[in-house]
Amino acid sequence: MKTLIASLLLLILPEVIDIPNPVIVQDKVKVQGTVIDADTQQPIVGATIILKEETINETSDADGNFEFFVEPGNYILEVQYIGFKKSGRLIMVPKSGLGNLIISLDPDVITLEEQIVISDAIQTKQLETPPGFAGRVNSYSARSIPFPPSNFNTEEYAEISENTFKWATKTPLSTFSIDVDGASYSNVRRMIMDGRLPVKDAVRVEELINYFNYDYEHPGGEHPFSVNTEVGKAPWNPDHQLVQIGIQGEQIEADDLPPSNLVFLLDVSGSMNSYDKLPLLKKGFKLLTNQLREDDYVSIVVYAGSSGLVLPPTSGADKETILEALNKLSAGGSTAGASGIKQAYQVAKEHFKENGNNRIILATDGDFNVGVSSNSELVDLIEEKRDQGIFLSVLGFGSGNLKDSKMEQIANNGNGNYYYIDNLLEAKKVLVSEMGGTLHTIAKDVKIQVEFNPQNVKAYRLIGYENRLLADEDFNNDKKDAGELGSGHTVTALYEVVPHGVDIDSCLSDIDPLKYQTPTTPVNGFDDELMTVKLRYKQPDGEKSQLLSQIIKRSDRSELSENLKFASSVASFGMILRDSKFKGNSSFEMVQQLAKESKGVDENGYRAEFIKIVELAELLYKGEAKK
């Protein structure tokens, strides 16, 4: 059965974007316009404006307005926004420029079906209800999951084997590295906004949770971060408890950040020749350039079939030169990513700033195909370079050939972080609003080890962090690499805990309960303790770790704080998307209710956007929406 829907307003856009004007080349003139809803005559925020002949890709602002610069002539202008029909029209740009263009988009009436390409024929097929979802939402007979009709999608994601429940008597220690990456959330958002559900292994639950900031207490002592804990009922299984461990990094104001030695390592290969890749990349780096100070220096290394330095170290005061270098970039050729990485580290090392922020920002779709290109070889290369005191940020772009697994491993092993940029607002979030956290590390090799008290804990499960797990002995090993914490960053980890006296489903654990190891008498002095949390970290230029320790007491509290309630809503959403066997009573209705109750101040609108994304995902599950 095909279900029809009319217009769907996806997002509450976070902020008005202030995009610096590009360098104006002689003979180029301004084109200005507004995108509106044909039915309501209201502005459409976040519409995509494409001028293919010039590889121009713009986004309408909070008033529906857009502008760009081109040479006088005739062009085909395309405007699109999900839930509306695409508009294409010929525009004639005179020497005096063109203003007051009004682009009206008609709401689209759309159906949901899967297209399967077989030879030259296209067939449509209704998909079956996935295991575990029957009865969770209505009208499953109408459910179809849409997939791109093209058979050229070569995106790669590392396989994730979900953490299971561990018996506290058998495995009392849980050890892992922190993860501040937010790439999985923005990538999942991109897929849902494209009208399709994310592939299972694209959903890393901890990255969904850590995309958002939480109202944790700020550090006030000798350490660069605070540790905040809470215990409450697990919303998807009220018989279980949910334990939150929250880290709040010290916030350093932009003017107080140390001077930066930045190397923009930009992929300009042929695979980047798409409006959501190099054109978006250039816009994002222009936003960052606009934030640079006089004592910040930028170099630009590009790579395609080979690599090259296109901008030697240039002061942030000379923004025009940096912007001009960005404007000149174009895509073409194969992808020698390893060659570019080597040259970028060489440039960063030659201009190393003592007591400064030395960082490479790699922007790519990850599709390396010349020279060293396998994940293991690239990880070896990055590990060889990371001890030089140079940090790494990885920004992923585009779709269809996104090598998510490669970029995540490069960042994880290069003293770095990984973000996925799906639109200009995300670029602003990462490179402007949260610039201090993205670019300035306040603590490195941050590890967490939790010891559970088997007197009070029957079993536990770490939610997410599957690719950040460490051996217990790695906690005290200062040679073992772990995650980095940036200025102002928050990191959240959730444990689902089964208290004693509560039965656990045998299918949720890898092993049967032990017969002889169950404690029968209280341990003196610790009967009120649930667990002990220990953290180790190093200073950004340090080699010896420091230790923190904190005890979490038993609690019968059922009400969740705003922090834990919102984190649990995101975790529940992630488990639904993964069709996790641990999702319990999770439902889209529950996720939305928890998120709405804990939206809080939401100054930038990220939590409101999350609620809209959940609504759209529910429609996709019900079979009531498609691209």
> Could you identify the residue written with the tokens 């309630």?
565
| pLDDT surpasses 90 at 561 | yes
Greater model confidence, 571 or 343: 571
Q: Which amino acid is at 161?
A: S
Residue-wise pLDDT for 364-400, tens only, equals: 998 775 455 566 777 777 777 777 888 889 999 999 8
> Could you identify the residue written with the tokens 């654990």?
509
Lowest mean per-residue pLDDT among 8-12, 94-98, 176-180, 295-299:
8-12
Q: Which amino acid is at 89?
A: R
Lowest mean per-residue pLDDT among 103-112, 155-164, 239-248, 287-296:
103-112
User: Phi, psi at residue 57, to the nearest 5°?
Assistant: -140, 110
- 382 secondary structure, DSSP code: H
pLDDT attached to residue 71: 87
User: Phi, psi at residue 232, to the nearest 5°?
Assistant: -155, -175
Can you name the residues that pair with 263 across neighbouring β-strands?
299, 360
Buried b (16+ CB within 10 A) or exposed e, 85-96: eebeeebebeee
pLDDT band at 58 (very low <50, low <70, confident <90, very high): confident
Question: What average pLDDT does the segment 273-280 reach?
Answer: 90
Can you name the residues that pair with 70 across neighbouring β-strands?
29
pLDDT attached to residue 43: 86
| pLDDT surpasses 70 at 72 | yes
**Cα 94 to Cα 46: distance, rounded to the nearest angstrom:** 27
pLDDT attached to residue 130: 39
User: Phi, psi at residue 325, to the nearest 5°?
Assistant: -65, -40
| pLDDT surpasses 70 at 315 | yes
3-state helix, strand, coil in the chain (%, to 5): 25, 30, 45
Rg of the chain taking only CA atoms, in angstroms: 25
> Could you identify the residue written with the tokens 């996806």?
10
- 283 Cβ contact partners less than 8 Å away, ≥ 6 residues apart: 19, 57, 424, 427
pLDDT attached to residue 212: 97
Tokens representing residue 409 in the block: 């491993």
Question: What average pLDDT does the segment 107-127 reach?
Answer: 40
Using the Cα atoms of residue 454, residue 459, residue 463 and residue 465 in order, give the sign of their dihedral: positive
| pLDDT surpasses 80 at 557 | yes
| pLDDT surpasses 60 at 611 | yes
Lowest mean per-residue pLDDT among 106-120, 384-398, 403-417:
106-120
| pLDDT surpasses 60 at 6 | no
| pLDDT surpasses 80 at 361 | yes
| pLDDT surpasses 60 at 537 | yes
| pLDDT surpasses 60 at 132 | no
| pLDDT surpasses 80 at 439 | yes
Q: Do the beta carbons of residue 44 and residue 36 sit within 8 Å? A: yes
pLDDT attached to residue 445: 94
**Cα 233 to Cα 218: distance, rounded to the nearest angstrom:** 25
SS3 604: coil
Greater model confidence, 363 or 271: 363
Domains recognised in the chain with CATH numbers: 29-105 (2.60.40.1120), 166-252+443-585 (2.60.40.1230), 261-424 (3.40.50.410)
Q: How far is CA 438 from CA 288, 567, 606, in A?
A: 11, 21, 17
pLDDT attached to residue 583: 96
Question: What average pLDDT does the segment 11-28 reach?
Answer: 43
Residue 366 φ/ψ region, left for φ over 0, alpha for ψ in the -120 to 50 degree band, beta for the rest: left
| pLDDT surpasses 90 at 11 | no
Residue-wise pLDDT for 282-312, tens only, equals: 999 999 999 999 999 999 999 886 678 999 9
Q: Which amino acid is at 74?
A: N
How distant is the alpha carbon of residue 184 from its chain centre? Answer: 4
- 611 Cβ contact partners less than 8 Å away, ≥ 6 residues apart: 592, 595, 596, 599
User: Phi, psi at residue 548, to the nearest 5°?
Assistant: -125, 150
Q: Do the beta carbons of residue 454 and residue 172 sit within 8 Å? A: yes
Q: Which amino acid is at 530?
A: L
- 364 Cβ contact partners less than 8 Å away, ≥ 6 residues apart: 266, 267, 272, 335, 337, 394, 395, 396, 397, 407
| pLDDT surpasses 70 at 514 | no
Q: Identify each DSSP E strand in 171-284 by its residue range.
A: 173-177, 225-234, 237-249, 260-267
Dihedral angle over CA of 403, 407, 413, 417, nearest 10: -150
SS3 534: strand
